[in-house]
Amino acid sequence: MKYISKNRFCDFIIHDADFIFDKRTDKDLVVSAKHLNIIKTAEQNPYDVDMEIKCAIITFKNYSILSLVDVVDVSKKTIYEGKEAEDKIIDELKNCAWAKSIEEKENSVYSIDFCGKKILYFIADIQCESVTIEWDEYNGEAWYEKRRKNQCR
């Protein structure tokens, strides 16, 4: 891959990115991502605006799914852990889940808000040794850059 980012989710705008299951091994979870945007100040972005990446490969190295929380009905959150949480997130990713945001917590835990097809809104906590995001090309300016330019006229 031409561009590589390691442990720098802070360089990306995740809102409404499609996360699609690619593969998993005993230690790694790999997803492809479309509509993922990289901020203009990121080392791998040679442009002076935020850019959309055509297709990224995200690898969670030595990962563990800690939990999946179904938050559609806030009054009765359903929490899945361990193997059950992993099976549910893999199932959602196989059907393409929309990532809404990612928060990096302590101990290399990433909390990802998703909209899915079977579980409409859920939060997955994934712990991993490292996260690598790789891609070859850009798809043009991020969708909100055009809006930003029109507001400044």
Over the stretch 39-90, which tens digit does the pLDDT of each residue have?
999 999 999 999 999 999 999 999 999 999 999 877 788 999 999 999 999 9
Indicate the helix (H) or strand (E) that contains 66. Answer: strand 64-70
Q: What is the pLDDT of residue 149?
A: 65
User: Domain count of the chain?
Assistant: 1
The DSSP code for 35 is: S
- The overall average pLDDT reported for the chain is 93
3-state DSSP assignment of residue 107: helix
* Domain extent for 9: 3-151
Give the residue among 138, 140, 93 at the shortest CA–CA distance from 119: 93
The amino acid sitting at 8 is R
CA dihedral 12, 7, 42, 19 (to 10 degrees): -30
Over the stretch 13-33, which tens digit does the pLDDT of each residue have?
998 899 999 999 989 999 999
The answer to whether residues 136 and 2 touch, using CB atoms and an 8 Å cutoff, is yes
What does the alpha-carbon distance between residue 153 and residue 148 come to, in Å, rounded to a whole number? 9
Three-state SS for 121-142 is: EEEEEEECCEEEEEECCEEEEC
